[in-house]
Amino acid sequence: MIMSKALFLEPHYGDIAWSCSGLVAQNRQDSIIVSIFPPKRKHYRIQFKGIKYRRKKREEIKFSNLLSVEIIYLKYKSAFLRGRNLEDLFDKILNPAEEEQVLQLREYLSDLIRKRDVSEVYCPMAQRNQIDHLIVKKAVAGLKQIDFDIYYYEDFPNFLPVSRKLQVSTGLKAIKVDISEVIEEKIQGILQYESLVEPYFKSKEILVVLIRKTPFETFWKEDI
């Protein structure tokens, strides 16, 4: 992929690092990340006395500094802060307030794409219908696509075993990007997110081996 300006949409902190950091590293000067539902101090102070909030913000900043990439933080409330329970996080049906979020986000993105001369937009596929991911996908789906292309990234990192992934829509065409030249930068970028590594991998070494075995990232585009 050859980009002029690329816009990477990140529902939650770490999403772009885990799924797209190789492509970002290849095009760091022309990449913009928009963090749509960033960590909120209120939520984490209530549950964790602020520890995880501060940690997550530090991790995102370290990633941004490592790859010298711009991150724009929006102020939308994530599902928990909107009052959804854990069992309601995966839902195809948006409530009226969330439908309004879709419209607001779409207007913001449309304006940003125009002002920053964006040629490619990278959006979560929302395979599991995680509600925040779905809001972002719906906002992007309604954009008037004139001078830019839309690509979808999988909600599961490319290096995870196939058994842990979900099926991809048959209406999408896979585009595999070789990131072997920046694989070490991808590894270091992901390792900045220690709060995400610890719950899912027994050790950093296991994670690094998995990433090195998969020196590519897969993106999906509508097969027109």
Partners of 219 in the beta sheet?
153, 175
How many residues comprise the chain?
224
Calculate mean pLDDT across residues 163-183.
Answer: 82
| Per-residue pLDDT tens over the stretch 77-132 | 999 888 898 888 998 899 999 999 999 999 999 999 999 999 999 999 998 889 99
Whether residue 191 has pLDDT greater than 80: yes
Instruction: Please count the helices (runs of H) and the strands (runs of E) in the chain.
Output: 8, 7
Q: Higher confidence at residue 202 or residue 178?
A: 178
- CA dist 32 and 14 (Å) reads 14
pTM for the whole structure:
0.91
Calculate mean pLDDT across residues 157-180.
Answer: 78
3 state DSSP class of 39 = coil
The CATH H-level (homologous superfamily) assignment of domain 6-222 is LmbE-like (3.40.50.10320)
